[in-house]
Chain A
């Protein structure tokens, strides 16, 4: 069995991801269609929330990816800082815009859902606020990558920012909790308490979450490939200039 660090070689990564990507993308597409169609067309309305309950099929999975996307960037950053595998740093860079988009989707769907339910588009509820802060962290991270010219320097700086940012994101989460007890309902889902939400809603939601995870993975692979190619091109051009 080969070590997973073999995939830290850019060429090996490109070859393998090229093989995996079509399947992953197809799977993600199928799951997304099945989950959303199921959720949108074939679930009943909630007796309290009416048809707005259908929004959770977008809201919960995107929120899931928004948080876990940052977590993935944190792990990738640590791998880069400790083992110096370039692919890892580039994967973190590739994941950031996806995470940011997911955060926007979670915020948007949350606001649209909140309007009829809470009577307001935006409330300074701890969860909403935390997501807004998370979005700012994503923006800063992306901006720092874009601003630093040297690739290795940028990888180092953004990795450390990701580390420090993670600590402060957690801090902000608790600070915000202290600051305002919110309107938001508790996590409506957890794996061991499936009866929180009736099965009719739960199953399609699981499919949607799986679909978003698959979509995230496919996009990360695709974007990492692009980053590797961009990086190789810059390296080749730099070498050409020097000789």
Chain B
């Protein structure tokens, strides 16, 4: 761990918040991608079956 001195709080909180936001964005994107893939597959199969 590097010595951050008196600004430790500022540096750590900005890294923490930014990484949290990035993780949230990536996580949400992945989650939606997976859900949409599954939902589309279901609809595609139904459409194919009914012609």
Q: Within residues 27 to 45 of chain B, which ones have a CB less than 8 A from any CB in chain A?
A: 29-30, 32-33, 36-37, 39-40, 43-44
Q: A50-B6, A109-B18 are in contact. Are A222 and B30 (CB under 8 A)?
A: yes
Question: Told that A97-B25, A116-B7 touch, could you supply 17 new A-B pairs with CB distance under 8 A?
Answer: A45-B5, A51-B2, A51-B3, A51-B8, A54-B15, A55-B10, A58-B18, A62-B18, A105-B21, A109-B14, A109-B18, A112-B13, A115-B10, A219-B25, A226-B32, A230-B36, A240-B47
Contact among A51, A223, A229, A236 for B4, CB-based, below 8 A: A51
Nearest chain A CB to B11 CB, angstrom units: 5
Q: A98-B25, A105-B21, A222-B29 are in contact. Are A52 and B11 (CB under 8 A)?
A: yes
Cβ contacts A to B, 12 pairs, < 8 Å: A54-B4, A55-B10, A101-B21, A105-B22, A108-B18, A112-B13, A112-B17, A115-B10, A226-B29, A229-B39, A230-B36, A233-B43
By the criterion of a CB under 8 Å from any partner CB, how many residues of chain B are at the interface?
Answer: 31
Nearest chain B CB to A55 CB, angstrom units: 5
What B residues does A240 contact at CB under 8 A? 47, 50
What A residues does B37 contact at CB under 8 A? 229
Contact among A40, A108, A230 for B2, CB-based, below 8 A: A40
The chain B residue sitting closest to A57, CB to CB, is: B15
A215 proximal to B (CB < 8 A): yes
